């Protein structure tokens, strides 16, 4: 991460009247904090990859702390009106569907996006499969796939918030 060039680019974009969005893994919360404090970013999409207890092993570095800090920082900034748009993005690969309810819980009321993961020879989850995962979180989510683009999905209305069948 090169914070000074990023800040200069965001500032120059602002001077041209452009909105500034940032897709980030959240490992540099101080940089995010500076951009938000100076009102140089309009939208943050924070990628959360899994459960906190698995995060450091998954990424081979100790990143869970900084990502938690970025999540709290952006959530607070959104609530305070300092960050107009904020969403948590889960790039979902087959076999990791069970991570989503946990991530939805730690994201709190932040907009949640399930994004179709594409990797090598692994068949990506379909839109229908992503909707089934979304049903388990019990709230509106955005689903992004190559086939369908972005869809706002309100879920299976026959399910409770816990995702269990009523009956």
CATH number at residue 26: 3.20.20.70
Q: Does residue 73 lie in a domain region? A: yes
Can you give the pLDDT at residue 165?
37
Contact 166, 135 (CB under 8 A): no
Tokens 């999540």 locate to 71
Q: Does residue 34 lie in a domain region? A: yes
Q: Does residue 167 lie in a domain region? A: no
Domain of residue 63: give its range.
20-153
- Mean pLDDT (10-residue bins), the chain, 167 residues: 90 96 95 96 94 75 89 97 97 92 94 92 92 94 95 73 40
Q: Does residue 49 lie in a domain region? A: yes
Chain centroid to Cα 4, Å, comes to: 24
Separation CA 126–CA 143 (nearest Å): 10
Q: Does residue 163 lie in a domain region? A: no
Q: Does residue 81 lie in a domain region? A: yes
Contact 143, 108 (CB under 8 A): no
Q: What is the pTM of this model?
A: 0.87
Total domains present in the chain: 1
The size of the chain, in residues, is 167
Can you give the pLDDT at residue 167?
37
């Amino acid at each position: 991460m090169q914070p000074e060039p990023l800040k200069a680019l965001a500032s120059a974009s602002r001077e041209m009247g452009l909105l500034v969005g940032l897709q980030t893994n959240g490992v540099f919360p101080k940089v995010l904090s500076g951009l938000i404090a100076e009102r140089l970013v309009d939208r943050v999409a924070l990628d959360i990859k899994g459960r906190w207890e698995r995060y450091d092993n998954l990424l081979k570095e100790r990143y869970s702390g900084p990502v938690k800090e970025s999540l709290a920082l952006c959530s607070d900034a959104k609530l305070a009106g300092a960050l107009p748009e904020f969403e948590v993005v889960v790039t979902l690969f087959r076999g990791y569907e069970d991570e989503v309810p946990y991530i939805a819980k730690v994201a709190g009321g932040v907009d949640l996006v399930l994004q179709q993961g594409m990797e090598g020879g692994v068949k990506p989850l379909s839109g229908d499969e992503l909707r089934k995962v979304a049903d388990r979180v019990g709230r509106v989510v955005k689903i992004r796939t190559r086939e369908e683009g972005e869809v706002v999905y309100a879920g299976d209305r026959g399910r409770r918030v816990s995702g269990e069948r009523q009956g």
